[in-house]
Amino acid sequence: MSWDDANYKLQLDLDALVRDPALCSKCKDQARRWRDMQYSVLRPMEWPGTPLMDSRTSHSDRERDWLRKNIEQVQSIIVVCRAHNHHEWDGS
């Protein structure tokens, strides 16, 4: 499996997490925001946006790291939503 195939599979995993029917609308919106924060080869940055880059890391590797970290964030949202701890998003 190529790195691009691996990245595609991670993107499918992320999309599936965002479509989780157990998510309330507020948490689903948060999950979509993480899903939509994608690595760009045109404006490459470290996740979550610091401009420091190591030129030895390929764009494909960097994209995969972004996808993995975004998946972790969406998984955290799912845990919070299922536990009904929405105050974490409300700031209360």
What are the residue ranges spanned by the domains of the chain? 3-90
Q: What is the token pair recorded at 84?
A: 């009904």
pLDDT of residue 69: 86
What distance in Å separates the CA atoms of residue 5 and residue 76, rounded to the nearest whole number? 25
Tens-place pLDDT, residues 17-56: 888 888 888 888 888 888 888 777 777 666 665 556 667 7
31 burial class (0-12, 13-18, 19+ CB within 10 angstroms)?
buried
70: Cβ contacts below 8 Å, ≥ 6 apart = 14, 34, 35, 37, 38
Q: Give the Cα separation of 92 and 76 in Å (integer).
A: 18
